């Protein structure tokens, strides 16, 4: 979905209209520097609750709070101009009732300026998605592997059995019928995601799903080697920034210990002439 205009922000309608066309490109961002870079190449940027694990070192996403999502969502909206920004609703902030979900979503949209929220769930969330979309909150659905349900379901590939595939299919259809403008399909068997992409009228955004999906999303830190030792099978590494950062930190520490940093060019009016620094 190439767009030559650098200033018009893409909307959820642009994303919905991209169904079946050029693949929709998406990455996560949680901070202004990463968001600024993602904005150059992405159609939509997700402020995912994966930030709990990637930024805060949590074991899962279930400890993420609405306040965390709002703080990071604000930073990402501020740093971007073109991409459509979607913010995740964290675990426990929407499942109780449609009214609870609306209260959370209204706060997230009003306090961050994002275009839409994402929530995990299928048939059981359809009434909530309907409630939100009928009240002006665009929703991106999320089916298949749902990390907020890790305590009940684990992290394994979904849709392997006939029963599981049938359930995910019914989930995706219910989420679409409830008014979601798109659906993230995470870590499912390929044929299921391919079939869903053909059947649904809204775009499917795959993560560990299928190249046939209408778009793809990954966690940015995963593709650049900044997310720790474990890399999911469905991630492709495009850079090794972790190694680069570790090297920079080691060089800095060595310079400080050897008094090579700061050099005269790094300080104002040095009182004593100093040795020339490497930098
Ligand atoms: O939280 C997240 O980052 C996500 C995507 C990876 C789909 O839900």
Would you place residue 90 in the very low, low, confident or very high pLDDT band (cuts 50, 70, 90)? Answer: very high
Contact 108, 73 (CB under 8 A): yes
Measured from the Cα of 61, ligand 1's closest atom is 1
- CA-nearest of 113, 117, 115, 123 to 105 is 117
In sign, the C-alpha dihedral spanning 218, 187, 50, 133 is positive
Instruction: Determine if ligand 1 sits within 6 Å of the CB of residue 187.
Output: no
Instruction: Determine if ligand 1 sits within 6 Å of the CB of residue 184.
Output: yes
Instruction: Determine if ligand 1 sits within 6 Å of the CB of residue 28.
Output: yes
Q: How far is it, in rounded angstroms, from Cα 140 to Cα 120?
A: 9
Q: Is the pLDDT of residue 275 over 70?
A: no
pLDDT tens-digit profile of 29-66?
Answer: 999 999 999 999 999 999 999 999 999 999 999 999 99
- To the nearest whole number, what is the mean pLDDT of the chain? 94
Pairing state between β 116-118 and 139-144: parallel
Q: Is the pLDDT of residue 3 over 90?
A: no
Q: Is the pLDDT of residue 252 over 80?
A: yes
Is 186 designated active site?
Answer: yes
Q: How far is it, in rounded angstroms, from Cα 73 to Cα 85?
A: 8
């Amino acid at each position: 979905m190439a767009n030559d205009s650098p200033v018009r922000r893409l909307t959820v309608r642009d994303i919905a209209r991209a169904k079946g066309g050029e693949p929709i490109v998406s990455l996560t961002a949680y901070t202004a520097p990463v968001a600024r870079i993602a904005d150059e190449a992405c159609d939509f940027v997700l402020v995912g609750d994966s930030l709990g694990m990637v930024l805060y070192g949590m074991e899962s996403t279930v400890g993420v709070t609405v306040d965390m999502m709002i703080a990071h969502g604000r930073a990402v909206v501020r740093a971007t101009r073109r991409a459509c920004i979607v913010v995740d609703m964290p675990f426990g902030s929407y499942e109780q009732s449609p009214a609870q979900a609306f209260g959370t979503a209204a706060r997230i949209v009003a306090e961050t300026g994002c275009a839409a929220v994402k929530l995990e769930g299928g048939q059981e969330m359809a009434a909530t998605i309907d409630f939100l979309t009928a009240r002006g909150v665009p929703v991106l659905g999320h089916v298949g592997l749902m990390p907020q349900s890790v305590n009940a379901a684990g992290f394994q590939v979904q849709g392997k059995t006939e029963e599981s595939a049938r359930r995910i299919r019914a989930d995706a259809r219910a989420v679409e019928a409830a008014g979601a403008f798109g659906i993230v399909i995470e870590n499912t068997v390929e044929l299921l995601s391919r079939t869903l992409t053909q059947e649904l009228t809204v775009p499917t955004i795959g993560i560990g799903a299928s190249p046939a999906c209408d778009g793809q999303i990954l966690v940015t830190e995963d593709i650049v080697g900044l997310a720790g030792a474990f890399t999911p099978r469905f991630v492709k590494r495009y850079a090794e920034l972790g190694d680069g950062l570790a090297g920079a930190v080691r060089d800095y520490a060595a310079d400080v210990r050897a008094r090579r940093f700061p050099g005269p060019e790094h300080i104002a009016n040095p009182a004593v002439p100093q040795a020339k620094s490497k930098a």
